[in-house]
Amino acid sequence: MLTRKQHELLRFIQTRLDETGISPSFEEMKDALDLKSKSGVHRLISALEERGFIRRLPNRARALEVLRRADEGGQAAPAAGSNVIPFTKPEAAAPASAPDVIEIPLHGRIAAGVPIEALEDQAILPVPAALLGAGEHYALEVSGDSMIEAGILDGDFALVKRTEIANDGEIVVALVRGEEATLKYLRRENGMIRLDPANAAYEPQIYAADEIKVQGKLAGLLRRYFH
């Protein structure tokens, strides 16, 4: 059984897909269900996904597939003619000259100086697909100047591949002592972890291995040229 809101959202998604072949945006879903924030939509989407009614396709913007259609009573039946409804119709594909765009979570700010808290916001950042490779990604807004010699500036958006494994010399998002996150070069030295800046004005930060957890490694950057 689905809750009333879950049922309403599923019907709204499948109706929009039937009519246009394109999944509604999170803003449209929020307005349709009269929710106060997009975080409520995220929770409903996750619940429908866990119950096997929809599926989110990785690395595609607004990529939802309906696996099971809700009937009038809130129960579910297999989608007619297929076990999925395509997210987009083939004829609605973007022109070849237009870049594919992927929507990835924007989780707040991260320090490129001394560590600061990495916020867990629910925002979404559209990113050209060409900037990302395979795997799950998220974005963080850079704060500070300790990575400027690596071309990473204050206000840039760091595009991060989610992983807990990184090699020496890679730029990573490092969670320090379970509390603060920072963007630095990772190096292992005599059983310790050294987080190196890319700015001669800053000193390396050295920690015990169990004080550092890799949360991802840098995959790309986005930069705004306005204030």
Three-class SS state of 162: coil
Cross-strand bridge partners of residue 125: 104
* Rg (the chain; Cα; Å): 21
Q: Which of 23, 143, 161, 184 is catalytic?
A: 184
Full-model pTM: 0.54
- Catalytic annotation present for 97: no
CA distance 25 to 45: 12
Q: Which of 146, 161, 213, 217 is catalytic?
A: 146
Question: Per-residue pLDDT for the chain (227 aa), expressed as one digit of tens each?
Answer: 678 888 888 888 888 888 877 788 888 888 888 888 777 787 888 778 777 888 876 555 556 778 877 664 444 444 444 333 333 333 444 443 334 778 888 877 777 665 544 555 557 888 888 788 788 888 888 888 889 999 999 888 899 998 999 999 999 999 888 878 889 999 998 999 999 999 998 899 999 999 999 989 999 898 876 54
Q: Which of 124, 132, 99 is nearest to 219 (CA)?
A: 132
| Distances from the Cα of 164 to the Cα of 39, 75, 80, 151, 173, angstroms | 26, 40, 41, 24, 10
Three-class SS state of 129: helix
CA distance 64 to 66: 7
- Catalytic annotation present for 37: no
Confirm if 100 and 129 have CB atoms less than 8 A apart.
Answer: yes
